[in-house]
Amino acid sequence: MKPKNKHNHNDLGLDTKTVAEGYRALNKDGTFNVRKQNVSFLEQLNIFHSLVSMSWLKFLTVLALGYFTINIVFASLYLIIGMEHLTGIHGTTPLDQFTEAFFFSAQTITTLGYGQVAPLNLAANMVAATESLLGLLLFALATGLMYGRFSKPYATIKYSTHAVIAPYQEINGFMFRVVNPKNNQLLEVEVSVTLSLKRDTTDLRDFHLLELERTKVVFFPTMWTIVHPITPSSPLYGLSASEVLIKDAEFIVMIKAFDESFSQTVYSRSSYKAQEIKWGEKFTYLTKRYGTGVSIDISSIDDTHTADLN
Amino acid sequence: MKPKNKHNHNDLGLDTKTVAEGYRALNKDGTFNVRKQNVSFLEQLNIFHSLVSMSWLKFLTVLALGYFTINIVFASLYLIIGMEHLTGIHGTTPLDQFTEAFFFSAQTITTLGYGQVAPLNLAANMVAATESLLGLLLFALATGLMYGRFSKPYATIKYSTHAVIAPYQEINGFMFRVVNPKNNQLLEVEVSVTLSLKRDTTDLRDFHLLELERTKVVFFPTMWTIVHPITPSSPLYGLSASEVLIKDAEFIVMIKAFDESFSQTVYSRSSYKAQEIKWGEKFTYLTKRYGTGVSIDISSIDDTHTADLN
Amino acid sequence: MKPKNKHNHNDLGLDTKTVAEGYRALNKDGTFNVRKQNVSFLEQLNIFHSLVSMSWLKFLTVLALGYFTINIVFASLYLIIGMEHLTGIHGTTPLDQFTEAFFFSAQTITTLGYGQVAPLNLAANMVAATESLLGLLLFALATGLMYGRFSKPYATIKYSTHAVIAPYQEINGFMFRVVNPKNNQLLEVEVSVTLSLKRDTTDLRDFHLLELERTKVVFFPTMWTIVHPITPSSPLYGLSASEVLIKDAEFIVMIKAFDESFSQTVYSRSSYKAQEIKWGEKFTYLTKRYGTGVSIDISSIDDTHTADLN
Amino acid sequence: MKPKNKHNHNDLGLDTKTVAEGYRALNKDGTFNVRKQNVSFLEQLNIFHSLVSMSWLKFLTVLALGYFTINIVFASLYLIIGMEHLTGIHGTTPLDQFTEAFFFSAQTITTLGYGQVAPLNLAANMVAATESLLGLLLFALATGLMYGRFSKPYATIKYSTHAVIAPYQEINGFMFRVVNPKNNQLLEVEVSVTLSLKRDTTDLRDFHLLELERTKVVFFPTMWTIVHPITPSSPLYGLSASEVLIKDAEFIVMIKAFDESFSQTVYSRSSYKAQEIKWGEKFTYLTKRYGTGVSIDISSIDDTHTADLN
């Protein structure tokens, strides 16, 4: 009645009944390999989150297009009201007048207000007063988004491309390396690795939380090699490389840390599939003495050399 | 002397002495069914919280009304000072002059400042200088509110409309489903379910923290069925549907999670009353294979089918 | 060698060697009764914190004075440069010119820019360009401060004025009540109460962490009576009211909660001195049925009635 | 297979193979003595973090230079378009015209818009409309940075310059003092001290988590003396001052606290090397009675007096 601590139980919250070859629960970048069907667009929508998460190029394009569109709309309004109700309009053709209205709108929404062109009658004044308020509110929004974009913490952890099965003390171990290339300090870093294996005969997957040499470090100044020693109690014990492939193994990695620069807890996820493991390779030691401290060559995170397995 | 771990003890912080039929501690939307009396308006007030929590329609209406009111006030001030102390005023009737003062005020408070109308004497200048400062401060406030509205995390968890009593392994279980329709990733999701039952003879309620199949999942990519197995130690053990109704049962659900998009801890609450339980129904399994991952039909969260109870 | 769990040990971080009558470690409002000497002003200074914590009246006064002062400074600069280098100046007396320069400065720093007055030569243009940049930065600051002021979470917990020693089950208990008058939801509320007692003969104080009926509640919709049962293991056991006064007792209360409105952890502190305890009084029960829920009269938090002690 | 709890194991995440004399893992200010090699500039870059962490002088210089540069760029654009397409230009020499264009740009990017100078043709209008939008966005950015700078929590803890080995109860203890000079309240302060010792014969370092008299205090109103009692189980037991020097000892201190002013968790780190320990000195007691509370002379944090070791 208390299956909670059993190893083959799934406390990850992932589905256990999907077995076809090549199933991957987590993509390399840590996103879930899941599609949600029949969620209404509005329900799924999170405007702030989308605008904060999109690339800078996309974000600035959205802003520029929005600015352009709003000015088109307001220029049309001023044109409908009649250009004779704005001072300082010189254009006589509709296109010239529209252009002048467009730039008057731009000067109004940014609260620039050169004053060369200015509203004269009630309608034009009402539109301009509304536009300047709208401008301020949109700008307030942009400010919030800018801050949201910059202050959004994100774990900057980089994973070694491959994991290895290498000799570890008297036995062997499953190992991969992580590195923090940014200047952000990550503190109290916790890691968990769960192994998902397909059962031989049924259509179910088992999930095994792997025992690690160390599940938490206080500091993470540079690089950390995470080691699962393959003891007799390990689900990997006695398995060959080909058996691990047949069982369609997936090592699901979750890292949690406190990012001191953002004063926030951040998470990082990734996964290694069976074919992303190098057997009989060992990660090369990279730390060198430098002054009174040490120096580490971060670009060599993937460097391995052959090592005879125990 | 240490009744803390006893099951019939209320560590929820809810009242234990209210028994009348139909009592509900938590509303479906997670708010508390409690009215606070004799709290002074000021004590209860939390302006920021109110402005951040109200609907966008209400929020924008408040802003528009505020803008209108402030301009009315300042237009009146300029009129009192005398319109001859502003340049560029053409109106001769009081109404025309008030309109011009109103739009001059709008141009000043938004710091638009076309300059067509401008203050001339000391009094008008003082009012205009004060208004533009006030405008900036109000705008600073609006910026903060906009950001507050957008960055406020909220658990987007959706609950199945009904709970079910369904067969579970060799016995039966109380079950309900939750889903995260948004794109926000929820991590380290914890759930607790407390059953509140009316005592037969006295005017007291007992609270029982229910044992769950799983109280925590690391990931919550799509859907989670929360199960309370009805073992002999369960307060539901041996109760019939009508007995659960007579005892006026309320299942109080509390979910806690880390919202990765907002980097914040979020809470979600709901409750199921006895009449919101379907006996002998089972939730339909919804996950399908999709490419190398899975696909889940979120709109079918309430789908159940008949299942014979053990 | 491991005195950590001993009762008479001070894990509060408060001083243990201060015995004089009337010593109070915490003031009623939760601030520490401590003066820091010889800290340089700059070291102690925390401008943001000060501006965010001061009253609104003080804050707005600081803003208004700052605005006034900066305009005085810039008006002087324009005067030094020479008023002939600004267009639209009509004043001939120094005072008139200064007034015009003052309001031109106000129009520039708020980026209002009517344009009636405008800089002509290099020096005036440089000062105006600098002033408008300064204005934007100061305004950016004000925006941040506004947001900081509004979004600063604070525990809104209100304590009963007095604590009581009242009958509790078969024995007696030390009790006080707390209430959350605001609409903010406080969740997972934890409380600890430490009793500080003067030793009879030496110049030391002992600190006793008191056992409570309940140290944590999940919800805190209205009111919570916190109870320390006076069992034989309690440091209060067998003490009379006068003995508690002689030992100069101080009950130090610390409450920690998650404020759902601000998505932040908040703390609240207070203390009860021996003379703030009513012996043989019991808090009056305040919950009433209201519709399908309950209603509580918050203003009666201090209501007690006589009750014979066990 | 479970070396996690062994004392000589490094759960700090620091390198264990660096032995040369004078190695220091943490600098006095808490930064890591580590250089990352071969990280691409972009990968290491964190613009927001850099702008938020740099000194105010540097930050304001960056802002001023950016403002100047952008105006140079836009002035050049206006010049290229042709000064005849701006109204109100009086200069005839190229330098005069560039200066006028420069200040027009400044008036546009700050949305000041006096209007004395204003764009006439399509090209000039387009540049001005773009510049004012850019100005708003840059200003939005500056607002976010200002808020980021001010609201960034940082542990303000100050460490005593030296640690001491002083008599403690019946034995001796390793001690240092920390003080919070700011007005920020730090709550639930946790400390850990790890001793790093060079092995005599091999090229490895051992890390020992030291047992402390107290690892956590609830309040931290003024000063805290952190004590490691040198019991027989301490790695310092029986070592002389010269042996500690030979073993190149480093005491790595990590403090974690909740900063109530910022409602955030903050961390502070420092380290003491063997040569920063005073043997046979004791910290002077600094608390004095002041009114109903106490007073502490913070500037005397380093005061010690001779004390015979046990």
Tokens representing residue D121 in the block:
């043709």
Query: What's the maximum distance between 2 C-alpha atoms anywhere in chain C?
Result: 91
Q: What is the mean pLDDT of chain B?
A: 86
Q: Do B143 and C142 touch (CB under 8 A)?
A: no
pLDDT at residue D127 in the model: 94
Q: Tell me which of A63, A102, A107, A258 to substitute to probe the interface with D (most D C-beta atoms closer than 10 Å).
A: A107
DSSP string, B131-166: HHHHHHHHHHHHHHHHHHHHH------EE-SSEEEE
- Which residues on C lie below 8 Å from A115 (Cβ)? 114-115
Tokens representing residue D218 in the block:
């609830």
- Which residues on C lie below 8 Å from A111 (Cβ)? 111
Nearest-Cα residue of chain D relative to residue C44:
D182
Q: Do A13 and B217 touch (CB under 8 A)?
A: yes
Q: Which chains would you list as touching D if contact means 3+ CB atom pairs under 8 Å?
A: A, B, C
Q: HSE (CB half, 13 Å, CA atoms) of A1?
A: 14
pLDDT at D8 over 50: no
Q: Which residues contact B219 (CB under 8 A, 6 or more apart)?
A: A12, A13, A14, A32, A254, B185, B187
Q: Which chains would you list as touching A if contact means 3+ CB atom pairs under 8 Å?
A: B, C, D
Residues A117 and A99: beta-carbon distance below 8 Å: no
Give the pLDDT mean for D241-249.
92
- Which residues on C lie below 8 Å from A114 (Cβ)? 115
Q: Do D132 and A106 touch (CB under 8 A)?
A: yes
Q: Give D267's strand partners.
A: D256
Q: Do A148 and B146 touch (CB under 8 A)?
A: no
Q: Do A296 and D4 touch (CB under 8 A)?
A: no
Q: Do C11 and D298 touch (CB under 8 A)?
A: no
**Position with higher pLDDT, D203 vs C173:** C173
- Which residues on B lie below 8 Å from D107 (Cβ)? none
Least confident of A67-76, A215-224, C123-132, D129-138: A215-224
What's the pLDDT band for B281 if we cut at 50, 70, 90? very high
- Which residues on A lie below 8 Å from B187 (Cβ)? 267
Q: What is the mean pLDDT of chain D?
A: 86
Name the residue facing C115 among A111, A115, A143 (closest C-beta): A115
What is the nearest CA distance from D172 to chain A, expressed in angstroms? 28
Q: Do C144 and D146 touch (CB under 8 A)?
A: yes
Alpha helices in chain D (DSSP H): 41-44, 47-53, 56-81, 94-109, 122-151, 241-246
Which backbone phi and psi does D264 adopt, to 5 degrees? -140, 155
How many interface pairs between C and D have CB atoms less than 8 angstroms apart? Answer: 183
Helix (H/G/I), strand (E/B), else coil: D79: helix
**How do residues B211-246 score in pLDDT, each as one tens digit?**
999 899 888 888 899 999 999 999 999 999 999 999
Q: Do B53 and C261 touch (CB under 8 A)?
A: yes
CA distance B295 to B302: 17
Name the residue facing B113 among A22, A113, A144 (closest C-beta): A113
What is the nearest CA distance from C217 to chain A, expressed in angstroms? 25
Q: Do D49 and A151 touch (CB under 8 A)?
A: no
Residues C207 and C268: beta-carbon distance below 8 Å: no
- Which residues on D lie below 8 Å from A116 (Cβ)? 87, 115, 118
pLDDT at residue C104 in the model: 93
What is the nearest CA distance from A258 to chain D, expressed in angstroms? 9
CA distance A233 to A241: 18
**How do residues B45-95 score in pLDDT, each as one tens digit?**
678 888 888 889 999 999 999 999 999 999 999 999 998 888 888 888 989
Q: Do B293 and A135 touch (CB under 8 A)?
A: no
| Pairing outcome for strands A86-87 and D293-297 | unpaired
pLDDT at residue C19 in the model: 52
CA distance B57 to B61: 6
Tokens representing residue B89 in the block:
């005023």
**Position with higher pLDDT, A278 vs B181:** A278
Q: Which residues contact B232 (CB under 8 A, 6 or more apart)?
A: none
What's the pLDDT band for C221 if we cut at 50, 70, 90? confident
What is the nearest CA distance from B110 to chain D, expressed in angstroms? 11
Residues D161 and D302: beta-carbon distance below 8 Å: yes
Give the pLDDT mean for C154-170.
90
Name the residue facing A37 among B111, B189, B298 (closest C-beta): B298
| Pairing outcome for strands C86-87 and C118-119 | antiparallel
How many interface pairs between B and D have CB atoms less than 8 angstroms apart? Answer: 6
Tokens representing residue A82 in the block:
């009649």
Q: Do D115 and B115 touch (CB under 8 A)?
A: yes
How many interface pairs between A and B have CB atoms less than 8 angstroms apart? Answer: 184
Name the residue facing A217 among D12, D22, D153 (closest C-beta): D12
pLDDT at C200 over 70: yes
**Closest of A121, D132, C142 to residue B135, by C-alpha:** C142
What's the pLDDT band for C6 if we cut at 50, 70, 90? very low
Q: Do A147 and D152 touch (CB under 8 A)?
A: no
pLDDT at B115 over 90: no
What is the nearest CA distance from D24 to chain C, expressed in angstroms? 28
Q: Do C115 and A111 touch (CB under 8 A)?
A: no
Q: Do B111 and D111 touch (CB under 8 A)?
A: yes
What is the nearest CA distance from D230 to chain C, expressed in angstroms? 10
- Which residues on D lie below 8 Å from A145 (Cβ)? 140
Q: Do B115 and C113 touch (CB under 8 A)?
A: yes
Q: Do A115 and C111 touch (CB under 8 A)?
A: no
Q: Do A114 and C114 touch (CB under 8 A)?
A: no
CA distance C240 to C165: 11
pLDDT at residue D182 in the model: 81
Which domains, and CATH codes, for chain B?
43-151 (1.10.287.70), 154-306 (2.60.40.1400)
**How do residues D13-58 score in pLDDT, each as one tens digit?**
776 665 556 677 788 777 877 777 777 766 666 788 888 888 899 9
Nearest-Cα residue of chain A relative to residue C140:
A143
**How do residues D154-173 score in pLDDT, each as one tens digit?**
767 899 999 999 999 899 99
**How do residues C89-104 score in pLDDT, each as one tens digit?**
888 898 999 999 999 9
How many percent of chain D have pLDDT more than 70? 91
DSSP string, chain A: --GGG-TTS--S---S---STT--SB-TTS-B-EEEES--HHHH--HHHHHHHS-HHHHHHHHHHHHHHHHHHHHHHHHHH-GGGEET----SHHHHHHHHHHHHHHHHTT---SSSEE-SHHHHHHHHHHHHHHHHHHHHHHHHHHHHHH------EE-SSEEEEEETTEEEEEEEEE--SSPPEEEEEEEEEEEEE-SSSS-EEEEEPP-S-SEEEE-SSEEEEEEE--TTSTTTT--HHHHHHTT-EEEEEEEEEETTTTEEEEEEEEEEGGGEEETEEEPP-EEEETTEEEEEGGGTT-EEE----
pLDDT at residue B47 in the model: 80
CA distance B228 to B234: 9
Residues C213 and C199: beta-carbon distance below 8 Å: no
pLDDT at B270 over 60: yes
pLDDT at residue D4 in the model: 37
Tokens representing residue A57 in the block:
């190029």
What is the nearest CA distance from B200 to chain D, expressed in angstroms? 45
Q: Give C282's strand partners.
A: C305
pLDDT at residue B1 in the model: 34
**A143-157, B283-297, D209-223 — which one is most confidently predicted on average?**
D209-223
Q: What is the mean pLDDT of chain C?
A: 86
What is the nearest CA distance from C300 to chain B, expressed in angstroms? 8
Residues A165 and A282: beta-carbon distance below 8 Å: no
pLDDT at residue C106 in the model: 94
What is the nearest CA distance from C308 to chain B, expressed in angstroms? 20
pLDDT at D124 over 60: yes
First-to-last CA distance in chain C? Answer: 39
Q: Do D297 and C129 touch (CB under 8 A)?
A: no
pTM for the model stands at 0.83
Q: Which chains would you list as touching B if contact means 3+ CB atom pairs under 8 Å?
A: A, C, D
Name the residue facing D132 among A112, A150, A181 (closest C-beta): A112
Edge-to-edge strand list for the sheet holding A287-290: A287-290, A293-297, D34-37
Q: Do A114 and C115 touch (CB under 8 A)?
A: yes
Tokens representing residue D224 in the block:
């805290």
Task: State the complex-level ipTM.
Answer: 0.78
Tell me which residues of chain A have a pLDDT lower than 70: 1-10, 15-22, 41-45, 155, 203
Name the residue facing C263 among B2, B35, B153 (closest C-beta): B153
What is the nearest CA distance from D135 to chain B, expressed in angstroms? 15
What is the nearest CA distance from B59 to chain C, expressed in angstroms? 16
CA B87-B92-B98 angle, 5° bins: 75
pLDDT at residue A113 in the model: 85
Tokens representing residue A290 in the block:
């430098």
R_g of chain B computed on alpha carbons: 29
Q: Do D146 and C148 touch (CB under 8 A)?
A: no
How many interface pairs between A and C have CB atoms less than 8 angstroms apart? Answer: 6
